[in-house]
Amino acid sequence: MNKNIPFLDLGAMNAEAAQGIAEAWRAITTESAFIGGRRVQDFESQWASYCGSSFCIGLSDGTAALELALRALGAGPGDDILGPANTFIATWEAVAAVGARPIAVDVDPVSLLVTAETLGNALTTNTVGAIPVHLFGQPANMTEIMAFAGRHKLWIIEDAAQAHGARWNGQAVGTFGDAGCFSFYPGKNLGAFGDAGAVITNSHRIAGFVRSFANHGRRDGHADIHDIIGNNRRLDGLQAAILSAKLPFLNSWNARRRNVHSWYRQRLGTQVVGHTPDTRAVSVHHLEVIRVCNRDQIRGQLTELGIGTGIHYRIPCHRHAAFENLAVPAVPVAESAASEILSLPMYPHMKQEDVEHVCDAMFNLVSPFGASKSRIFRHAAA
Ligand SMILES: *Cc1c(COP(=O)(O)O)cnc(C)c1O
């Protein structure tokens, strides 16, 4: 029986937060504080305290967060910066935007996350820093990555755009490195009603630079004194107010995502990316990713059945025309994963019966392919 199951459904979250969102809208209309102002400051301090960092600077989007963190750390032409081959292109764009060179890093075959070892294999003599990505909501092993960075005198920017509230060893992601970058794009675990982002940091200097750069290079508190050549990357008051209205629900939404994940995990076993997480890792399951053979056929059939899916990401960053002139070290794990990964429906209010429906549909695809489970699934499902 067909049943439409969307890839992502934001409606139930908006409904839960509806009262706060209505109040946010009223506040912005009466205060007319559209850019900057109290609502932005409120959200910045709420997000800093949620993560456990000293400073938070609200920004226009997550890509700006990465770019401004890179600028604050002085990254520029001649610098090599390590980043996973399998990330959203924004991680690489930010590196290119400051004139530095992204170096593709391979990943762990189970989690598809960078590790101290894969970062080490990609080191070049001009490497100044690394951007581990907490992909799909899973925290990277920051204990080992920070030790690696210390040994090689590298800075670390955490791309936490998919991992709001994820924890490694009891500590929120984004607070291990020199800076942590978040996107509040609507589809992220904490999403605005448009583009939004933030940098968190414990460094007064980095915070000051990012805040100034995002606000036309202004000196703090001075509308007409410009100390550096900056740009306009500010967070809107309206987006900040909406984020503040939704933040109180983030922990319960992440807990719901963990339930949804456990239902998938029960049915799909070792097909699920990150099926054996480290005990120190608390994922927030931004995406539910599995690895399958015949990925594109399976995806096509699920689409016909009304089940929404995605691929994160179909093409490794260094394979895009935009980055074709880069020298790329071998990244065999990321390359082979790219043709096998499939993102299944995942959102906080997804029902167990819908997860069952998606999994049943996957298993029913076995006969049309005239194949055993092992031909569709990479490993026999547990
Ligand atoms: C979403 C995302 C970004 C960029 O965020 P925007 O707000 O869309 O600019 C960066 N990195 C990763 C891994 C992302 O998923």
Mutate to test the pocket of ligand 1, among 91, 95, 284, 312 (most ligand atoms within 8 A of CB): 91
Distance, CA 223 to ligand 1 centroid (Å)? 30
pLDDT digits (tens, 9 = 90+) for 162-181: 999 999 999 999 999 999 99
Alpha carbon distance 57, 216 (integer Å): 14
| CB distance 346 to 288 below 8 Å | yes
Quick one: pLDDT at residue 167?
Answer: 98
Q: Assess whether the C-beta atom of 91 lies below 6 angstroms from ligand 1.
A: yes
Q: Assess whether the C-beta atom of 345 lies below 6 angstroms from ligand 1.
A: no
pLDDT digits (tens, 9 = 90+) for 247-289: 999 999 999 999 999 999 999 999 999 999 999 999 999 999 9
Quick one: pLDDT at residue 104?
Answer: 97
Quick one: pLDDT at residue 368?
Answer: 46
Quick one: pLDDT at residue 380?
Answer: 45
Average pLDDT across the chain, whole number: 94
Distance, CA 236 to ligand 1 centroid (Å)? 18
Distance, CA 161 to ligand 1 centroid (Å)? 5
Mutate to test the pocket of ligand 1, among 162, 190, 235 (most ligand atoms within 8 A of CB): 162
Distance, CA 63 to ligand 1 centroid (Å)? 6
Q: Residue whose CA is closest, atom 14 of ligand 1?
A: 161
pLDDT: which is higher, 375 or 247: 247
Q: Residue whose CA is closest, atom 2 of ligand 1?
A: 161
Q: Assess whether the C-beta atom of 185 lies below 6 angstroms from ligand 1.
A: yes
Quick one: pLDDT at residue 381?
Answer: 42
pLDDT digits (tens, 9 = 90+) for 5-25: 999 999 999 999 999 999 999
Distance, CA 216 to ligand 1 centroid (Å)? 23
pLDDT: which is higher, 332 or 363: 332
Q: Assess whether the C-beta atom of 197 lies below 6 angstroms from ligand 1.
A: yes
Q: Which domains does the chain have, with CATH numbers?
A: 10-248 (3.40.640.10), 249-375 (3.90.1150.10)
